[in-house]
């Protein structure tokens, strides 16, 4: 990814979480069991195929001590950037703004 006009590329929280569990030498299967979530769900988050929810952020906070609010802010910034890259959605927004400016 490149520069999106903000001087940085937002990071999916899964990337940070994956690095953290690797650093701590925690297996994904052990962490999934500890958190009470399916291994596939955990793996999808860590590999950026699934967004982090408030519930899973709080589970990560309990299991790893990583602030859930920070994780959710990362997810929000990542989500917003994905939407900003969607050209068809940008065209839709432009049409809406044009209509709204006529009022």
The CATH number of the domain holding residue 31 is 1.10.260.40
Contact between 47 and 18 (Cβ < 8 Å):
yes
Euclidean distance between CA atoms 87 and 93, whole angstroms: 10
Domain that holds residue 29: 13-76
Element (H, E) at 22: helix 13-23
The better pLDDT of the pair 84, 14 is held by 14
- Long-range CB contact pairs, 92-96, < 8 A, 24+: none
pLDDT exceeds 90 at position 42: yes
pLDDT exceeds 90 at position 88: yes
Q: Does 86 map to a domain?
A: no
Average pLDDT over residues 71-97: 94
Residue 8 is predicted with a pLDDT of: 67
pLDDT band at 2 (very low <50, low <70, confident <90, very high): very low
Q: Does 56 map to a domain?
A: yes
Q: Which of 48, 58, 53, 50 is nearest to 19 (CA)?
A: 48
Residue 38 is predicted with a pLDDT of: 98
Task: Classify burial at 42, counting beta carbons within 10 Å of its beta carbon; exposed 0-12, middle 13-18, buried 19 or more.
Answer: buried
Q: Does 21 map to a domain?
A: yes
pLDDT exceeds 60 at position 39: yes
């Amino acid at each position: 990814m490149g520069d999106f006009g903000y001087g940085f590329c937002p990071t999916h929280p899964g990337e940070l979480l994956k690095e953290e569990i690797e650093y701590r030498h925690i297996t994904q299967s052990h962490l999934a069991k500890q958190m009470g979530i399916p291994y596939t769900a955990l793996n999808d988050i860590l590999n950026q195929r699934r967004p982090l929810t408030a519930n899973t952020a709080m589970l990560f906070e309990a299991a790893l001590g990583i602030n859930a609010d920070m994780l959710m802010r990362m997810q929000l910034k990542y989500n917003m950037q994905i939407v900003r890259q969607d050209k068809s959605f940008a065209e839709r927004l432009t049409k809406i703004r044009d209509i709204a400016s006529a009022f």
